[in-house]
């Protein structure tokens, strides 16, 4: 359809229908209405789209379609804030912050460090009153993120309504905790996460649990033992920071060696449990060309949901997106599907 022709015809129609008032001929109103209709037509034809579901396993696809239908429904991003950079920048300021009462726990690591865990026990759960078998969701905030991030609070709120328990894995040295060893976040190292998973499982061996990570899932006297802090502070890009800090701290010869080792292209091949990944193709940090679509197709345990809009963990929707986002709805439906129907993923 030619939207320009539609807009012109609509404008002429409105101009002929609007009565001449005291302040003018009504042409201005007809133009405003015409522009509004044209914008709505553009939004519905080019912005609001169904996400692309990428999965090599037909049974996994059918499982998602039946128990997580949100991944097959049209995503309607906020009509005045659908562009990726706007979604990324405005989300922290627009979305609400549900109140969550945490119980903090510090666990020791093999190298002498410590990890801060924030628990939401949900002891008032009506669906799972027995704490020993209450499903547990392990949440991984983004780089430098903590349990206080709005997206984490919303994920906990969604879990609370389903009766689940949550525990937030705060990376070392953040969330107000002292850094006891010269070691922080590294995208290619999962030792701390493994320690947290084993710890949670040891506390509740009868409780099923899943993990949900957002973005990259991540004090001075200690850091000076392994790197030049003054040089690190002069970094003006993520690559410069990783070159002077992360790659040095974890023993990589170059920053390219670190990026190669941390690339999801290599990690996806070894995924052994069902994983659902949500990514917007207009993500400013993880754009479409960086999404390992072909690699994901080679593993029956991996499914990708790619939306046309959403930015970096934005996924705002609704006229005034204060509460639930599209990401929250995907999280809620998938987690519930895994806990309640997980045995059907590869038996359909």
pLDDT digits (tens, 9 = 90+) for 238-255: 788 778 777 777 778 888
* Residue that is written with structure tokens 């807009």 in the block: 7
> What confidence score (pLDDT) does residue 87 get?
93
Express each pLDDT in 40-81 by its tens digit.
Answer: 889 999 999 999 999 999 999 999 999 999 999 999 999 999
Q: Where are the beta strands (DSSP E) in 64-126?
A: 103-108, 114-120
**CA distances to 85, 157, 297, 321, 336 from 76, in Å:** 17, 22, 26, 11, 23
pLDDT of the residue at 270: 85
The answer to whether residues 138 and 167 touch, using CB atoms and an 8 Å cutoff, is: yes
- What confidence score (pLDDT) does residue 218 get? 31
What pLDDT score does 278 carry?
95
- Distance of alpha carbon 345 from alpha carbon 348, whole angstroms: 6
pLDDT at 223: 45
Bridge partner residues of 49 (DSSP): 75
115, 192 in Cβ contact below 8 A?
yes
Residue bearing tokens 């990690």: 267
Name the token pair of 348.
Answer: 């359909």
Stretches where the chain sits below pLDDT 50 are 1, 14, 18-24, 217-218, 220-224
Confidence (pLDDT) at 222: 38
Residues carrying an active site annotation: 215, 283, 312
Report which secondary-structure segment, H or E, holds 52.
Answer: strand 52-55
Query: What pTM value is reported for the model?
Result: 0.80
Q: Which long-range contacts (CB under 8 A, 24 or more apart) does 260-268 make?
A: 261/188, 262/186, 262/187, 262/188, 263/292, 264/292, 264/295, 265/292, 265/295, 268/292, 268/295, 268/296, 268/298, 268/299, 268/302
């Amino acid at each position: 359809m030619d939207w320009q022709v539609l807009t012109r015809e609509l404008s002429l129609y409105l101009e002929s229908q609007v009565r001449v008032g005291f302040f003018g001929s009504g042409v201005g109103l007809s133009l405003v209405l015409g522009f509004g209709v044209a914008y709505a037509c553009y939004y519905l034809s080019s912005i609001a789209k169904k996400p692309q579901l990428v999965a090599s396993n037909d049974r996994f696809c059918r499982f998602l379609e039946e128990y997580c239908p949100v991944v097959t429904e049209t995503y309607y991003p906020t009509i005045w804030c659908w562009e990726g950079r706007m979604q990324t920048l405005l989300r922290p300021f627009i979305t609400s912050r549900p109140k969550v009462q945490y119980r903090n726990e510090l666990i020791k690591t093999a190298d002498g460090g410590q990890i801060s865990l924030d628990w939401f026990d949900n002891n008032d759960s009506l669906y799972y009153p027995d704490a020993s078998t209450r499903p547990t969701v392990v949440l991984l905030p983004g780089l430098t993120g903590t349990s206080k991030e709005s997206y984490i609070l919303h994920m906990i709120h969604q879990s609370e309504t389903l009766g689940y328990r949550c525990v937030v894995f705060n990376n070392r040295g953040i969330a107000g905790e002292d850094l006891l060893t010269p070691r922080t976040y590294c995208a290619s190292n999962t030792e701390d996460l493994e320690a947290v998973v084993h710890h949670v499982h040891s506390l509740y061996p009868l409780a099923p649990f899943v993990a949900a990570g957002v973005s990259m899932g991540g004090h001075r006297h200690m850091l000076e033992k392994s790197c030049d802090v003054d040089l690190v502070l002069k970094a003006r890009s993520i690559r410069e920071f990783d070159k002077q800090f992360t790659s040095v701290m974890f023993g990589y010869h170059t920053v390219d060696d670190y990026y190669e080792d941390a690339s999801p292209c290599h990690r996806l091949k070894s995924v052994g449990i069902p994983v659902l990944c949500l990514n917007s193709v207009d993500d400013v940090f993880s754009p479409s060309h960086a999404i390992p679509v072909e690699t994901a197709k080679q593993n029956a345990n991996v499914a990708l949901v790619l939306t046309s809009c959403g930015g970096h963990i934005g996924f705002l929707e609704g006229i005034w997106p204060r509460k639930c986002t599209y990401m929250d709805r995907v999280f809620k439906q998938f987690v519930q599907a895994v806990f309640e129907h997980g045995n059907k993923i590869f038996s359909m």
